[in-house]
Structure 1
Amino acid sequence: MTLVHWTPWQEIDTIERRLNRLFDQDISPSLRGFSVPAAEFSQDEEAVYLNLEAPGIDINDLDIQVTEKAVSISGERKSETSSETQGKIRSEFNYGKFQRVVPLPARVDNTQVKAEYKDGIVHLTLPKAEAEKNKVVKVEIASTTA
């Protein structure tokens, strides 16, 4: 049996070169897909507040639908056409259609939703349904008699 000298740094360099070659190749937008918007929740006794990231998306390309239990957001980030005379264009942007359904932590009154789009973030204010605001549950205590 022959002993081989192992050099871990050489292997890491090889992996780094392979990754660099991978990222230097053109990746088709259809292979990359589009990631769904990230969501952020907060709530108080009156409402649920939902923020959705939608940078670079025109407000007219967004469709937001709200039920009592969930928010559905769909849209499309369209690529801008540009021409490059000296060769390839490298882009890490994702283009395409997306859809996400976000379940809500409480029932909301979906007829009173307010939405604002500012700096690439969709801010939704979803007032809680009256039944959720005044929800009080009486707990029955079972007695044990011996």
Structure 2
Amino acid sequence: MTIIRWQPLREIDALQREMNRLFEGLTPITENAASNNFVPSVELEEDTDVIHLKLEVPGLEAKDLDVQVTAESVSINGERKFERTASENGITRSEFRYGKFQRVIPLPSRVQNTATQAEYKDGILRLTLPKAEDEKNKIFKVSLGN
């Protein structure tokens, strides 16, 4: 039988490291706390020949967005900048979210990224992503266990 020496401070150290790791991603509640939370909503619809992707980014102009498409995913970067305006009482309250964001959306099928079409209107980015030819003709044989 092996004797193991109990070291209670080692366990407390491990607990402290785990708690620090847990709280690293949190930001303090300050004026800029909401800026870290801006993540645009995405809607994805797949047809037989094409994937339609909509991204909700109100308040941004097309020049504020960086869209990159690969055969397997769409990466969208941007920034909603905070514009400070003077108020009568010197207090500003806002529920808007500001700051930089990045969304990487994995696609359910491979696409022809060079044939992507984009439209940006009224704060909605619409991407039309034609599927790759090999994805259109893909047939999957289902085994019934016999």
Question: With structure 1 as the length reference, what TM-score do the two structures score?
Answer: 0.72
Q: CA 1:29–1:64 in structure 2 vs 1: closer, same or farther (change >3 Å)?
A: farther
Maintained 8 Å contact 2:112/2:132: yes
Q: 2:68 aligns with which of 56, 65, 72?
A: 65
TM-score (normalizing by structure 2): 0.72
- Could you report, residue by residue, the CA deviation over 1:56-93 in whole angstroms, capped at 9, with x for unpaired residues? 11211100101111100110001223112422011111
Structure 1: distance between partners of 2:63 and 2:130: 24
Residue by residue, what CA displacement relative to the aligned partner does 1:99-120 show, whole Å, maximum 9, x if unpaired?
A: 0100101100000000101111
Identity of aligned residues (%): 54
Distance 1:107 1:137 in 2: 16
1:102 equivalent in alignment to 2:91:
no
User: What are the within-5 Å matches in structure 2 for residues 114-125 of structure 1?
Assistant: 114-125=117-128
Structure 1 residues not aligned, in runs of 5+: 1-26
Q: Which secondary structure does the structure 1 equivalent of 2:114 belong to?
A: coil
Q: What is the match of residue 130 of structure 1?
A: 133
1:45 correspondence with 2:21: no
Structure 2 CA distance for partners of 1:31 and 1:63, relative to 1, 3 Å: same
Whether the 8 Å CA contact 1:29–1:94 is kept in 2: the answer is: no
Larger Rg, first or second structure (1 or 2): 1
Give the conservation status (yes or no) of the 8 Å contact 1:115–1:122: yes
Query: Unpaired segments of 5 or more residues in structure 2?
Result: 1-28
Q: Distance in 2 between matches of 1:73 and 1:140?
A: 39
Matched letter for residue 113 of structure 1: T
User: Please, what is the CA RMSD of the aligned residues?
Assistant: 2.0
